[in-house]
Amino acid sequence: GDLLPADGVLIQGNDLKIDESALTGESDHVRKSLDKDPLLLSGTHVMEGSGRMVVTAVGVNSQSGIIFALLGAAGDDEDDGRDRKGD
């Protein structure tokens, strides 16, 4: 159940399964391997196995950071629209 704190590329893995439901909504665990699906995303959880990755993005530059920024921007637009209606 370890939370991945950054985006990265898998460079070594042993029967690695990831819960990506926080990003995709899909409840099935995703098997990660060097040849088929090596991308690991921040905000996801390691459910089985182990691995090492090269970090490619952190914070606002990661996939979860981008999503949170977009959600924040959408929330700001809605607030601005409400303020204009009251004027």
Domains of the chain, first to last:
3-74 (2.70.150.10)
Q: Each residue's pLDDT tens digit in the chain (87 positions)? A: 799 999 999 999 999 999 999 888 888 999 999 999 999 999 999 999 999 999 999 999 999 899 889 988 776 655 555 555 555
Q: Which residues pair with 37 in a beta bridge?
A: 33
Other beta carbons within 10 angstroms of residue 11's beta carbon come to: 11
CB-based contact 23:41 (threshold 8 Å): yes
Q: What is the pTM of this model?
A: 0.77
Residues forming beta bridges with residue 32, ordered by sequence position: 16
pLDDT at 1: 76
